Structure formats: structure tokens, C-alpha cells
Structure 1
Amino acid sequence: MLAYIFGVVLFALGICVSVALHEAGHMVTAKWFGMKVRRYFVGFGPTVFSFRRGETEYGLKWIPLGGFCDIAGMTALDEVTPEESPRAMWRFKTWKRTVVMVAGSVTHFLLGFIVLYLMAATMGLPNITGTPQVAAVSNCVQDARTTDQVSNPQCRPGDAAPAKSADLRAGDEIVSVNGTATKTYADVIDIIQRASGPTNLVVDRDGAMVPLVVDVPQVDRPVRRADAPADAPPEIAKTGSIGVTFPKMFEYNAATAFGGATAFTGDMFVQTWQRLIEFPERIPAVVSSIFGGERDPNTPVSVVGASRIGGEAVEQGLWELFLLLLASLNFFIGVFNLLPLLPLDGGHIAVVWYERVRDWLRKLRGKAAGGPVDYTKLSAVTVVLVLIGGAVTLLTITADIVNPIRISQ
């Protein structure tokens, strides 16, 4: 129980640090360009303490959820003193204002990458995309009635070694089997299990496409039917096997971890974008789970739910899951914050560039630049988006309390 509580607190602390650094990204870039930063606070609510350093007040609030960076004149409608006016944010060039507003999300991306690099260099990175890269080639393939016999065959002279005989090597990535593209190792396993006799493979070996022919034997294997009860013993059935294993984790050293973390970051960006696209259609499942429906592990979670999963991960010693969840949350927040919707940073960026493009078109027509966008006309849309965001947050928090996603699922 203590390990679980420690994990929850540690994950929540990680989120707070991420958000604090997000706001620090805005502050540092704003100061770098010469903008006036009035305040930088971590948290919300009553002030715990604060101090002034130069022209900026720094402090901590009682509620450690979020934070803020108060930059003078973020829009032309914001009130500024005569002293602040020359350094108001809205007076700076479009690209500088964009850099300041993007800096928060970039900070999340950097944090996520650092977490992934440390994972890669110390414990490896999970094969989340199911890359069909061969981890090891067995010396033989035999009949087996238990998973231990499958994993640790007692090879005898003359036993079939299909993969080894076909010159399949560790590090090869199987790109097709019998002309069918295999994007994941699950695709490879599915085709091989139904195959028998000479089977054509194409592997990517150090960038070269190498054709191979492997003679697939049908052997006894323990198989569990999808509709079988959880406590039912596996059945023994004939299935194709070639004697290879695929990695659940990719291992790196300090040097190769950079490339591994970079590639993994790209995969996570793709998955994050896919999750954002699927977000609206998963909300009904969240509502259903609140009223007793089974909680889909792919439904959105709140900070509460993520912290609970982090606590379970620490309790079970799954530090790789804890760190992966922390990295993925940073990527999600970073991407979400760039959506062109007010009051997100992406919404402010969209308005800034709308003004820039509008003034450029006016200049082509010989007209003077237009005035700043009147944010008050967008207030109704902003209020609606805030209400929707608040409702979704309330739903996910409720679901994470009454029917949380658990690692055991």
C-alpha cells in the first residue's frame, strides 16, 4: 500500500513539475526577447509564498495543479501601464510571439524525450508498434506441451531448426511472408502458424531486402482459445513454428539510446495524434463506465486516473510503465495545447497568424494594416470550449474514481 501511495504522489509530482516547466518555457523565451514578465507562479489559489527578483514576482500557490506566467500585453486589449507599453508582448514580431507561445509545448516534448532517453539507456524501450524484428533464433523446433518447453527446448541432433537453416538472423526484420506484408510480429505469427512446408520470407537486413525460404513444420503447442474460461488449461494443437522470438523491449547503450528515443518519440507522436482524433468517440464509453459498464482501457483518463495507474505501476515494480506513462502524458499535453482553440496556446497562435496573413493580403491590395483581433468577439466560443473541457474533465475524473482503469485489466 505504501508503494502505491508513493507511486501516486510521485506521478502527481511529475505532472506538477511538467506544468511548472511549461510555464517556465513561456517565461524564459519572453524574457529572452525582452518582453515584460510580471509574475511566474506554480499552482493556483491562495499564495503560499512569493518573492521578487528584478521585475518579476515568483511564487507558489496552495493548489499545485498548473501554474501561470503573466506576460504584459499578451493581446492588444490587455491593460498595460505606460512603463510596460513599449515591451508589451503584442508589439513584438509575429515569429517572436509564436516562439513564446510554442515554448510551453516544446518544453513538454523535451521532457518526454528526456524520459524516453533515460529509459532507453537504462532499461530499454518497449516494442509498442510490434516491429517484427527477430530477437533470437532457436537451435530447434520441437513438440511442446507447456510454455516452458516452448521457451527452453532440449534440442537433440537432427531436430528441425527452420529459421536457422533458412539463415534467418537476429536483427532481421520480417517484412513479408508468402507475399503478405507483415507490419507487426503478430502478423508474422498468424501467417506462420497456418503455414506448412516451404514458405517465402522477405527480411530487411541492414537496409537490404533479402528473400529467404523457410520450411515450416507443424508441431504440438499449448493453445488457449479466445472464448475459453480464464482458468481453463490450454489445449494442445498443431501449429506452424519456425523457432524465432520477437523483442518485447529494445535495448540500447548511452550512445544508441539517442537514436532509439528519437524513433520512439516519432511513434508516440503518431499515437498521440491518433488518440486525439479518437477522443470524441470514446467519451460515450467513459459515461457508460460511470454507470457500471466495463471500462475500456483505451478511454481517456484524467490526472487522477493517470496518477492511480502510476501508483499501481510502482506497486508492481513496473517502472518502465510508470516512465512511459509520464512521457506519453507530456506528449499529449504538448500536442493538445497546440490545437487552434482558445484559450489554448494554439488558439492564440492561430489569432496571431490570422492577423499576420490578413495584414499581408491588405498590403497587397494597397491597404493599411488592420487593427488587432477583438478577442471579446471570441469570448462566447471560448466560454463554450471551456465548459466542454470542464465537463470532459469532470467525466473522466468521476470515471477514474468509480471505475478506474487498472493495470491488471
Structure 2
Amino acid sequence: MANLLGIVLFALGICLTVALHEAGHMFTARAFGMRVRRFFIGFGPTLWSVRKNKTEYGVAALPLGGFCDIAGMSSQDEFITEEERPYLMYKKPWWQRVIVLSGGVAVNLILGFLILFVVAQTSGLANPNADVRPVVDEVTCSADQLDNGELAECSGTGPGGEAGIEPGDRILNFNGEPVETFQQLREEVLVRPGETVDIEVERGNSVLEFPVTLDTVERLVDGEMVEAGSIGLVQRPLDIIEKHSFVGAIPATWNYSMYMLNATVHGIAEFPSKIPGVVASIFGAERDVEGPMSVVGASRVGGELVEANLWAAFFTMLASLNYFLALFNLIPLPPFDGGHIAVVLYEKIRDFFRKIRGKSPAGPADYTKLMPITYVIAAALMSVAAVIIVADFVNPIKLLG
């Protein structure tokens, strides 16, 4: 029941995110005296609509986004009526058009920040600058794992302690390879039962190297007992989640937002390279947990988080969605908001150089020349979205196993 609740709540959160994005366009357009014809959530056939103050509000059948139809977004608008002519968007000053086109992006950035601001005060935010280097908290013996998953009793200091590693040592290298996290160390040790390895540590201002002969223990892997390596080192707990006061939450949220926005930029850049993996997952390949998800997949993950009572993670993911929607829409290609902004800036720069040459402004850009690009990108987006949705049904991402 909790899982279903989470799915529904996250789906509603997505709908609200899209609605507020489009509302950012609508309210700024009205503020500058532009006519908003339609404000819809979804695409395709209309499921419900109502007309108020010359604007049609509605919900369409395909919940894959939304749109705000402003009269005269370009001079090629074929549906302009005489009554709308005083309110056409393309006749407004360039800076007003840029603000309107950026309105949805601004709303998503603000909404993402506000969500994280509340999380910072209630549950705490991860500190992106926290020290996560692998530091030993204690040395312990190597124990076999029992069928019930618990560890058997053991004694001694274990291979690491016997070799001379002490609590407080920071692991630097494993067999000459840098170690960034304790999880990396565990994975390296696990596959080397009985082997002798070289561990380099930092102790105070000194760097020490120890040959360590790993123990061989029984570990439960995928329901089967297998031989695995053990070094007998316990990680120092990572204190990366920090709860903040109202005032302290402001810089903390800013820092974490910058971290998330940077990660989002890298994610968008890597997006095309992730698609082959999504296609392969439909036919049985392992799904990349860091790969793209659709509305379906994100809602399913939201259900997992609510079922596990991880509300902070639930809302953090919703904030991440807002940041993704903001930056994705800034791509300077049609039909994205960034593509329309690029056209307005092109007009301004073009007319600036025309003025230098003593020429009059050239007028609105011809959007029909961009239609082939728009159709290609729109078709590609719909195709990719369909593939990801299929993958989210056939082989969904599961963050919690």
C-alpha cells in the first residue's frame, strides 16, 4: 500500500512540476500583456478542459509534459485573430520575450531550491564537500557468514590488524591502485581469498605500506555460500548528512543545489550515450541505475522510497527532477525553451550589426526554416521516451534492490 502511495504521490509531483513550469510561462506572458490561448498538462487528445478569461485550461491524454500556447510566439502563427493582434508575443520587446521563455525554467529552479531548503531543515542534506575518504575505524577478526545472513563468532585482530594497520589510518592504495571509498576496498578484497596484497595507508604525516594476507571466509552471495576474501577492517562512519537551521539552510541548500546542477549538466551530456544501454536492458541486459528514467520509472522509484520511509530521498529526487527539467529545457535547439531563446537573441544580435551598417531591423525570424530541425528533434524525443518507458516496464530501475 505504501509503495502504491509513493507511486501516486511522485506522479502527482511530476504533474505539479510540469504545471508550475508552464505556469511560469503563462504568468510572465500575462504580466507583459501577451495573450495566453491554452494552458495544458499533457499532449494529444483532450480529456478535460475549461475556458476562462479567454484561456483554455485542460488535461490531455499523454502525460509526457505540457504546453502554454501564447498568441504570436512567432510571426508564422497561422491562427492569429484580429482581436489578438494587440497582444502578440513576437511584437513585444526582446527582453520581455526572453523572460517569458525563461519563466518555466526559473520556476523549476526556484521550486527545486525550495524543496531542498525544507529537506535541509527537516531531515538534513548531504554535504557534497564532506570527507568520504576511506578511514579505518577499528580492526576486527574475520568471520564466516551464516545462512541467516548474520556473522559467526570469531576472535583476534584479523589480517589488517596483524599486518600493522591501525584505527585512524586512511587507506590510500590497494596493490598500487588508488582507493577512493571503503566500498571499493571491500570489492577488491572480496574476490581475493587467501591472497597477499599490498595496502598503503596514511598515518599522521607518514605514508606506510603493509603486506596483508587476506583470510578466506564464507559469504552469502546471490543465495549461495562462496569463498571470499576478508581483511578485518571497519570503516569510520561517514557524517555527511547535516541538518540545518533556517538561516544555515540557505547556504547549505545553495551549495547542494550547485552540486546537483553540475551533476545534471553531466547527466544531460551523457544522456545520448546511455540510450543503447536502455535498449539492451529491454532484452535482458542489466539496467544502469544511473541511466535515464521516464515518468513511469521515476514514479516506481518514488514508490520504493516511500515504502522504505525514505521521505527525504523522495523529495530530493523530486528536486532533482525540477533541476533536470530546467536545464534540459535550456538546450538551445527547438522545440526547447532554449531554442526559442536562441532565436530571440539571434534577432537581437543580427539587428545590432544591421544598425552598425546603417540598416533597419530585419524583423522577426522565419521559424519555418527551423521546422525540419524541430520535427527531427521532436521525433527523436518521442522515440527515446517510448524506449525508456518500455524499459521501465520490462526492466525497471530498483534503487533499493
TM range (shorter): 0.7 to 0.9
TM-score normalised by the chain length of structure 1: 0.77
The aligned residue for residue 4 of structure 1 is 3
Q: Aligned equivalents of 2:115 and 2:217: distance in 1? A: 37
- Report SS of the residue matched to 1:296: coil
The aligned residue for residue 375 of structure 1 is 367
Shift of 1:366: 1.7
> Is the 1:359–1:368 Cα contact (8 Å) retained in structure 2?
yes
Structure 1 pair 318–399 and aligned structure 2 pair: CA distance change class (3 A): same
The aligned residue for residue 319 of structure 2 is 327
Q: How does 1:237-386 map to 2 (within 5 A)?
A: 237-238=230-231, 244-386=236-378
Query: What does the per-residue CA deviation read over 1:371-392, in whole Å, with 9 as the maximum and x for residues that have no partner?
Result: 3211111111111111111110
Q: Aligned equivalents of 1:105 and 1:223: distance in 2? A: 55
> Is the 1:135–1:247 Cα contact (8 Å) retained in structure 2?
no
Shift of 1:64: 7.1
The aligned residue for residue 207 of structure 1 is none
Query: What does the per-residue CA deviation read over 1:358-407, in whole Å, with 9 as the maximum and x for residues that have no partner?
Result: 11111112222213211111111111111111110110011111111112
The one-letter code sitting in structure 2 at the alignment partner of 1:106 is A
Query: What does the per-residue CA deviation read over 1:72-121, in whole Å, with 9 as the maximum and x for residues that have no partner?
Result: 21112224333432331111221111111011011111111112112111
Q: How does 1:35-184 map to 2 (within 5 A)?
A: 35-44=34-43, 45-46=45-46, 48-52=48-52, 55-63=53-61, 65=63, 66-78=65-77, 79-126=79-126, 131-132=130-131, 145=143
> Is the 1:19–1:67 Cα contact (8 Å) retained in structure 2?
yes
Q: Which moved more, 1:387-396 or 1:326-335?
A: 326-335
The one-letter code sitting in structure 2 at the alignment partner of 1:329 is L
Shift of 1:336: 0.7
Shift of 1:353: 0.7
Structure 1 pair 163–263 and aligned structure 2 pair: CA distance change class (3 A): farther
Q: Aligned equivalents of 1:70 and 1:330: distance in 2? A: 21
Shift of 1:10: 0.8
Structure 1: 5+ residue stretches without partners: 150-159, 167-173, 202-211
Query: What does the per-residue CA deviation read over 1:1-53, in whole Å, with 9 as the maximum and x for residues that have no partner?
Result: x222111111110000111111110111112222222333344432524142x
Q: Aligned equivalents of 2:223 and 2:396: distance in 1? A: 22
Shift of 1:63: 3.2
Structure 1 pair 188–90 and aligned structure 2 pair: CA distance change class (3 A): same
Q: Aligned equivalents of 1:393 and 1:10: distance in 2? A: 21
- Report SS of the residue matched to 2:82: coil
The one-letter code sitting in structure 2 at the alignment partner of 1:341 is L
The one-letter code sitting in structure 2 at the alignment partner of 1:391 is S
Q: Aligned equivalents of 2:289 and 2:369: distance in 1? A: 40
> Is the 1:23–1:67 Cα contact (8 Å) retained in structure 2?
yes
Structure 1 pair 340–230 and aligned structure 2 pair: CA distance change class (3 A): farther
The one-letter code sitting in structure 1 at the alignment partner of 2:126 is P
Shift of 1:287: 1.0
Shift of 1:62: 5.0
Structure 1 pair 134–404 and aligned structure 2 pair: CA distance change class (3 A): closer
Structure 2: 5+ residue stretches without partners: 152-163, 187-196
Shift of 1:70: 2.3
Structure 1 pair 34–221 and aligned structure 2 pair: CA distance change class (3 A): farther
Structure 1 pair 133–236 and aligned structure 2 pair: CA distance change class (3 A): closer
- Report SS of the residue matched to 1:84: helix
Shift of 1:145: 4.8
Query: What does the per-residue CA deviation read over 1:116-173, in whole Å, with 9 as the maximum and x for residues that have no partner?
Result: 112111111235x5831699996x7665759999xxxxxxxxxx99677x9xxxxxxx
Q: Aligned equivalents of 1:385 and 1:14: distance in 2? A: 26
Q: Aligned equivalents of 2:253 and 2:136: distance in 1? A: 26
Q: Percent identity?
A: 38
> Is the 2:21–2:107 Cα contact (8 Å) retained in structure 1?
yes
Structure 1 pair 234–261 and aligned structure 2 pair: CA distance change class (3 A): farther
Q: Aligned equivalents of 1:95 and 1:226: distance in 2? A: 64
Structure 1 pair 51–309 and aligned structure 2 pair: CA distance change class (3 A): same
- Report SS of the residue matched to 2:67: strand
The aligned residue for residue 19 of structure 2 is 20
> Is the 1:279–1:300 Cα contact (8 Å) retained in structure 2?
yes
Size of the aligned set, in residue pairs, is 377
Query: What does the per-residue CA deviation read over 1:285-322, in whole Å, with 9 as the maximum and x for residues that have no partner?
Result: 11111112221212211111111111122122222332
> Is the 2:113–2:257 Cα contact (8 Å) retained in structure 1?
yes
Shift of 1:200: 5.3
The aligned residue for residue 192 of structure 2 is none
Q: Aligned equivalents of 1:135 and 1:283: distance in 2? A: 33
